[in-house]
């Protein structure tokens, strides 16, 4: 399947490159512009590195680094120069790209956004991180669900970001919407290495889905990111793995969405994504299609509460130096550029 990392590509294959990008320090508009140029140059490097590559994937925080700086001066906008540069890089190099930006939000904290851009420069997927890594990350929780798109060479492609992958529901949602390949971009550091590995494999196996996962790499003088570019097949086996953590190394492999489709159609044992909604089909026709899971029904009803709720000690970001929020989810921040106040008045 791997075809020597994608060098020998099959007609049905999708060749993916995972960039273990050197962790940057970005605190000023000038540094943001320089890092944008560096990412653009790496897109060209990926194309030169492997002419068969369909999709180059950059980690979360590739543009902004791990400072968690929410300064509006270095936040991105979809019509801004950073996204325009990424779109042009995909066109110039005839390649699909997955990119990470922190997006300015006039109605609250910035969004942690993942983009997939096709080889014609069109933004095909826009995703706001659903599960910021609390208590560390200050980003607004995503409000747009998990999109799945038609990707290169006819694959169905989804994207989640870092901590999202620790929630099995996120990968399940991607698969339920038809994703055959799920990207997981991350800024994780070394303490997360083992959890990163086994969740990537579980996300693949439990959903009969290829996962392509990559972190930042190297040190910014404070944090040490781990690289760990990791391609996992739909049966949970690792196809390619950047275990050295070498900064700027591109981990490549060919994956086969057609074999994902075959497994989902013909597997009996361990076709878990199908069997979740068809419990015990050997005993009852079509299986049981109910929802016997209390946490699902409680979450849907807005009453999710764990039995130890009252003993949970970390419920905001103050332990990481962030101010305690006062705004409820869905409420606009007052008077930010005046936009939020105007929106509230309109509503």
Active site residues: 60, 129, 162
- C-alpha–C-alpha distance, residues 65 and 8, integer Å: 34
- Listed residue (41, 16, 38, 58) closest to 92, CA to CA: 41
Contact between residue 283 and residue 271 where contact means Cβ atoms under 8 Å apart = no
Give the DSSP H/E element, type plus range, for residue 43: helix 29-49
Distance in angstroms (rounded) separating the CA atoms of residues 250 and 110: 29
Residues facing residue 14 across a β-bridge: 255
Question: Is residue 86 within a helix (H) or strand (E), and if so which, with residue range?
Answer: helix 81-93
Tell me which residue of 234, 167, 231, 237 sits closest to 207, measured CA to CA: 234
Q: Where are the beta strands (DSSP E) in 155-306?
A: 156-161, 181-186, 210-215, 217-219, 224-226, 230-232, 238-241, 249-255
Q: Tokens at residue 305, please?
A: 């509460």
- Tokens (6 digits) for 17: 């490159």
User: Any residues with CB less than 8 A from the CB of 134 and at least 6 apart, and which?
Assistant: 314, 317
How is residue 126 written in tokens?
Answer: 């826009």
DSSP 115-166: EEE-TTS-EEEEEE-SS--TTT--PPPP-S---EEE-GGG-EEEEEEGGGGG
């Amino acid at each position: 399947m791997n075809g020597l990392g994608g060098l020998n590509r099959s007609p049905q294959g999708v060749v993916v490159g995972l960039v273990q990008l050197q962790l940057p320090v970005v605190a000023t508009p000038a540094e943001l512009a320089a890092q944008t140029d560096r990412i653009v140059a790496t897109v060209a490097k990926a194309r030169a590195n492997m002419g068969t590559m369909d999709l180059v994937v950059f980690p979360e925080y590739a543009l902004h680094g791990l400072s968690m700086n929410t300064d509006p001066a270095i936040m991105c906008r979809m019509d801004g120069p950073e996204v325009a540069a990424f779109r042009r890089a995909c066109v110039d190099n005839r390649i699909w790209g997955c990119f990470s930006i922190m997006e300015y939000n006039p109605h609250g904290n910035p969004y942690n956004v993942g983009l997939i851009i096709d080889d014609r420069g069109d933004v095909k997927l826009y995703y706001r991180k659903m599960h910021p890594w609390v208590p560390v990350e200050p980003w607004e929780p995503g409000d747009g669900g998990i999109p799945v798109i038609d990707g290169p060479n006819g694959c169905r492609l989804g994207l989640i970001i870092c901590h999202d992958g620790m929630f099995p529901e996120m990968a399940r949602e991607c698969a339920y919407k038809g994703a055959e390949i799920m990207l997981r971009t991350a800024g994780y550091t070394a303490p997360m290495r083992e959890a990163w590995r086994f969740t990537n494999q579980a996300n693949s196996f439990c959903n009969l889905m290829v996962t392509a996962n990559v972190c930042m790499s190297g040190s910014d003088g404070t944090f040490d990111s781990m690289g760990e570019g990791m391609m996992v097949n739909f049966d949970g086996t690792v196809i390619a793995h950047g275990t050295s953590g070498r900064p700027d190394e591109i981990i490549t492999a060919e994956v086969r969405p057609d074999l994902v489709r075959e497994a989902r159609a013909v597997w009996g044992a361990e076709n878990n994504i199908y069997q979740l909604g068809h419990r015990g089909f050997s005993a009852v026709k079509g299986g049981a299609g109910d929802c016997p899971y209390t946490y699902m029904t409680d979450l849907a009803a807005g009453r999710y509460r764990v039995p130890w709720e009252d003993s949970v000690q970390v419920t905001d970001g103050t332990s990481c130096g962030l101010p305690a929020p006062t705004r409820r989810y869905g409420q606009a921040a007052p008077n930010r550029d005046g936009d939020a106040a105007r929106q509230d008045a309109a509503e």
